């Protein structure tokens, strides 16, 4: 086992961190479509919108571990975690399945996705189908040379600014999980209706909305894989998302830990540095332990992906470890900063709000624990 990043990996990550710090210096959350587009183009100019896409489409051609290391550097240097999350979701839950399973026609979307000209949203979740993806009610029925989509998705990240949606619909109601198919749906098709941005408690730099397909006829060339392969395609994309996207939160925790160290070594109470109190020092020590433990699990999960061994248990354990560490560390950071951490401006309260949904999106903690239990033989 070699735990040391290679010189190439170190150089790439340092370059990303420096470029992100230069382009996203202000602590600014962009929520209007125009400024979001500018931010996406800036990030894409660094290569972040196409890290693991093929080089012929303008991507970086990276594997899972290198993609995770790059997203970790992105999360460490960019104060707008919503933007980081939106770009990572666009890449991992949308671009990856289009690359792996799309036709030549669908594959032509990849160059625009890598350049930041096209933004993608993953449309899976429905009101009655969150963790239980087998209860999808959106249908796709053969109609001439395409499929007629009808149904509504309840929570689609990037939807208000998205140009394409990777969505899942039932093509064979009698086949259950094996009756789900996947599609890449251009936004400009008739029958695609995007709702207003949903109010959220965090990740404000990633707009989300409901998306309705109202008799939307999708040309057959935008079917991903074969009919009935949607469930497997979704699982494949989630392996990449749960493995790589959460590396961005390692970066956030790294930055957060440094901020807490600076705060407690620079502030004095009762004639002593805060860091001199054992209760404070031990809290920071636990923050570091959670971060380093989660990092090792995530790196291993991504390494397994690169070996062609998509280990469900390894990915689930990494996802649980990172998300629970992110929430726990953010709560500790709030305590260490005291009342100033509760105020807008320090970024501490924003970090907590941005970390809380990690135990819900990409599969809840409870679902991950079920996967781990099942793979353990229970």
Domain membership flag for residue 131: yes
Tens digit of each residue's pLDDT, the chain (378 residues):
888 999 999 999 999 999 999 988 766 667 888 889 999 999 999 999 999 999 999 999 999 999 999 999 999 999 999 999 999 999 999 999 999 999 998 889 999 999 999 999 999 999 988 777 778 999 999 999 999 999 999 999 999 999 999 999 999 998 888 999 999 999 999 999 999 999 999 999 999 999 999 999 999 999 999 999 999 999 999 999 999 999 999 999 999 999 999 999 998 889 899 999 999 999 999 999 999 999 999 999 999 999 998 789 999 999 999 999 999 999 999 999 999 899 887 889 999 999 999 999 999 999 999 999 999 999
Q: Are residues 252 and 368 in the same domain?
A: yes
Q: What is the pLDDT of residue 120?
A: 97
Domain membership flag for residue 215: yes
Tell me the CATH number at 161.
2.40.110.10
**Model pTM score:** 0.94
Q: Which of 72, 126, 227, 241 is catalytic?
A: 241
Range of the domain at 61: 7-115
Sort strands 208-219 and 192-194 into parallel, antiparallel or unpaired. antiparallel
Give the C-alpha separation, 50 to 43, whole Å: 10
Domain membership flag for residue 240: no
State which of 184, 205, 230 marks the end of a domain: 230
Q: Are residues 365 and 255 in the same domain?
A: yes
Q: How many domains does the chain have?
A: 3
Domain membership flag for residue 235: no
Give the C-alpha separation, 299 to 223, whole Å: 32
Domain membership flag for residue 355: yes
Nearest to 108 by CA among 97, 100, 98: 98
Which residues are bridge partners to 213 per DSSP?
Answer: 151, 192
Q: What is the pLDDT of residue 97?
A: 96
Q: Are residues 23 and 88 in the same domain?
A: yes
Tell me the CATH number at 90.
1.10.540.10
Q: Are residues 178 and 85 in the same domain?
A: no
Q: Are residues 143 and 85 in the same domain?
A: no
State the CB neighbour count (10 A cutoff) for residue 347: 19
Q: Are residues 84 and 146 in the same domain?
A: no
Q: Are residues 106 and 191 in the same domain?
A: no
State which of 62, 86, 115 marks the end of a domain: 115
Distance, CA of 98 to chain centre:
16
Q: Are residues 263 and 304 in the same domain?
A: yes
Q: Are residues 129 and 73 in the same domain?
A: no
State which of 115, 142, 174 marks the end of a domain: 115
Domain membership flag for residue 366: yes
Q: Are residues 111 and 182 in the same domain?
A: no
Q: Are residues 93 and 177 in the same domain?
A: no
Is there a catalytic annotation at residue 4?
no
Which helix (H) or strand (E) segment holds residue 149: the answer is strand 146-157
> Which residues touch 348 (CB under 8 Å, ≥6 apart)?
256, 259, 330, 333, 334, 337, 340, 341, 342
Domain membership flag for residue 1: no
Domain membership flag for residue 93: yes
Tell me the CATH number at 339.
1.20.140.10
Q: Are residues 98 and 183 in the same domain?
A: no
């Amino acid at each position: 086992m070699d735990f040391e990043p290679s010189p190439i990996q170190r150089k790439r990550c340092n370059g990303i961190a420096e470029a992100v710090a230069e382009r996203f210096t202000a602590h600014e959350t962009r929520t209007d479509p125009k400024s979001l587009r500018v931010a996406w183009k800036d990030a894409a100019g660094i290569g972040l919108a196409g890290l693991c896409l093929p080089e012929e489409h303008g991507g970086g051609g990276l594997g899972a571990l290198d993609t995770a290391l790059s997203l970790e550097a992105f999360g460490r240097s960019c104060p707008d975690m919503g933007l980081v999350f939106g770009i990572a979701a666009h890449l991992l839950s949308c671009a990856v399945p289009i690359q792996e399973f799309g036709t030549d026609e669908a594959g032509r979307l990849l160059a625009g996705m890598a350049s930041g000209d096209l933004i993608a949203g993953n449309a899976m979740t429905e009101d009655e189908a969150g963790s239980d993806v087998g209860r999808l009610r959106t249908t796709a029925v053969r109609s001439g040379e395409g499929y007629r989509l009808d149904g509504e998705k309840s929570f689609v990240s990037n939807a208000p600014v998205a140009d394409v949606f990777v969505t899942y619909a039932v093509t064979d109601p009698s086949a259950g999980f094996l009756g789900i198919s996947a599609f890449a749906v251009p936004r400009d098709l008739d029958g695609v209706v995007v709702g207003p941005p949903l109010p959220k408690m965090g990740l404000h730099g990633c707009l989300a909305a409901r998306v309705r397909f109202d008799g939307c006829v999708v040309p057959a060339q935008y079917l991903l894989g074969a009919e009935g392969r949607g469930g497997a395609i979704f699982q494949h994309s989630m392996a990449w998302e749960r493995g790589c996207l959460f590396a961005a939160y390692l970066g956030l925790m790294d930055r957060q830990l440094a901020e807490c160290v600076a705060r407690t070594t620079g502030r004095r109470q009762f004639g002593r540095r805060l860091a001199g109190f054992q209760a404070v020092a031990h809290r920071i020590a636990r923050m570091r332990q959670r971060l380093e433990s989660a990092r090792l699990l995530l790196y291993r999960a991504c390494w397994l992906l690169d070996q062609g061994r998509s280990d469900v248990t390894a990915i689930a354990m990494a996802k649980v470890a990172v998300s629970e560490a992110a929430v726990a560390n953010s709560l500790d950071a709030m305590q260490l900063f005291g009342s100033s951490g509760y105020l807008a401006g320090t970024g501490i309260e924003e970090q907590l709000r941005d970390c809380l949904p990690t135990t819900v999106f990409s599969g809840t903690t409870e679902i991950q624990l079920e996967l781990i239990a099942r793979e353990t033989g229970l």
